[in-house]
């Protein structure tokens, strides 16, 4: 019948379910081991994610015709993560030096066109990927900085990942099963209201389950509310990255992870969620 939806299995296969599962089965155990180990191993993992994500972000900008200062951007992002890992009062110095060097770099380009936007997109990349991404390290190290058990830091990161994974999975499955009205089609043509609602439900359930199973510092009610906030912020983070890709005329940030696209396609939700969780646990939860 004309206009009929394809069979359910075919819809999942067309949506890339097989490479998604393979990437999850291979990647999740590796990420678990490194996060659980913590210390410099987790810092290096976060730096790798940030450098790859920043490369993808600069690719967006170059597709738009801008010329970000890649090396300064990379150095700045790594400097931020090193600061938050070691602590100390140097962040204002680092940010000041970064901003000055990025602006000075434009003086020595052979052409002055787009100097303002080149500076702006470089700084945005450092803040979007580098600064927000550094909160992975802040969250992992937070219990240790309070004199608490270091293993709690890994549990906080697992808690964040669990809620976003549940949100993404529920949104993906419900969106395929039900479909319906598009959420914001001019930003992300494939996302639906049913998928967004399913994602919120998945985040709430995951937050509640995390609280009653392995994260004793969070009550079940607080876990559910954090799951709600994480699911909403995570989906907004995903939409922001979709907006950047759409403006640059790209479908995926990269093809690094089969079935998942690039690094930014995987961590865009966490870039918005992990900072919220860090500040909640820093000022309220711990």
Does a structural domain hold residue 144?
no
Q: What pTM was estimated for this model as a whole?
A: 0.87
Separation of alpha carbons 273 and 53, rounded Å: 16
DSSP state of 149: -
Separation of alpha carbons 62 and 184, rounded Å: 25
Does a structural domain hold residue 101?
yes
In this structure, are 191 and 215 located in the same domain?
A: yes
Q: What percent of the chain has pLDDT over 70?
A: 86
Separation of alpha carbons 285 and 268, rounded Å: 24
In this structure, are 115 and 251 located in the same domain?
A: no
In this prediction, residue 222 has a pLDDT band, given cuts at 50, 70 and 90, of very high
Q: Which of 84, 100, 133 is the last residue of a domain?
A: 133
In this structure, are 158 and 267 located in the same domain?
A: yes
Separation of alpha carbons 129 and 131, rounded Å: 6
Does a structural domain hold residue 15?
yes
Domain extent at residue 197: 1-37+150-286
Q: Which of 89, 107, 133 is the last residue of a domain?
A: 133
Does a structural domain hold residue 23?
yes
Burial of 75: CB neighbours in 10 Å, binned 0-12, 13-18, 19+: middle
Structurally, the chain folds into a number of domains equal to 2
Whether 241 shows a pLDDT value over 60: the answer reads yes
DSSP state of 255: S
In this structure, are 252 and 209 located in the same domain?
A: yes
CB 175 within 8 A of CB 235: no
In this prediction, residue 1 has a pLDDT band, given cuts at 50, 70 and 90, of very low
In this structure, are 121 and 45 located in the same domain?
A: yes
88 three-class SS: coil
38 three-class SS: coil
Does a structural domain hold residue 261?
yes
């Amino acid at each position: 019948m004309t206009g009929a939806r394809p069979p359910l299995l075919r819809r999942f296969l067309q949506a890339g379910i097989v490479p998604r599962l393979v990437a999850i089965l291979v990647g999740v155990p590796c990420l678990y081991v490194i996060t659980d180990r913590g210390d410099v191993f987790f810092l290096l993992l976060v730096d790798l994610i940030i450098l790859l994500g920043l490369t993808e972000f600069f690719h967006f900008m170059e597709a738009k015709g801008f010329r970000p200062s890649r090396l300064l951007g990379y150095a700045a992002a790594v400097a931020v993560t090193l600061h938050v890992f070691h602590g100390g009062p140097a962040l204002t110095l680092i940010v000041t030096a970064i901003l000055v060097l990025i602006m000075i770099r434009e003086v020595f380009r052979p052409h002055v066109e787009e100097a303002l936007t080149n500076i702006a997109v470089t700084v945005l990349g450092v803040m979007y990927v580098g600064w927000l991404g550094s909160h992975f390290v802040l969250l992992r190290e937070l219990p240790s900085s309070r004199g608490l058990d270091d293993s709690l830091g890994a549990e906080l990161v697992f808690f964040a990942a669990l809620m976003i994974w549940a949100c993404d999975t529920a949104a993906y499955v419900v969106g395929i099963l039900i479909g319906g009205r598009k959420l914001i089609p001019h930003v992300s043509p494939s996302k639906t209201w049913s998928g967004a609602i399913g994602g919120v439900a998945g985040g709430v359930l995951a937050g509640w389950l995390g609280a009653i199973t392995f994260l004793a510092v969070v009550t079940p009610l607080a876990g559910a509310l954090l799951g709600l906030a994480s699911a909403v912020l995570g989906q907004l983070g995903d939409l922001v990255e979709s907006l950047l890709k759409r403006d640059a005329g790209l479908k995926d940030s990269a093809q690094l992870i089969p079935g998942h696209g690039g690094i930014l396609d995987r961590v865009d939700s966490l870039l918005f969620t992990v900072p919220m969780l860090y500040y909640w646990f820093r000022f309220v939860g711990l």
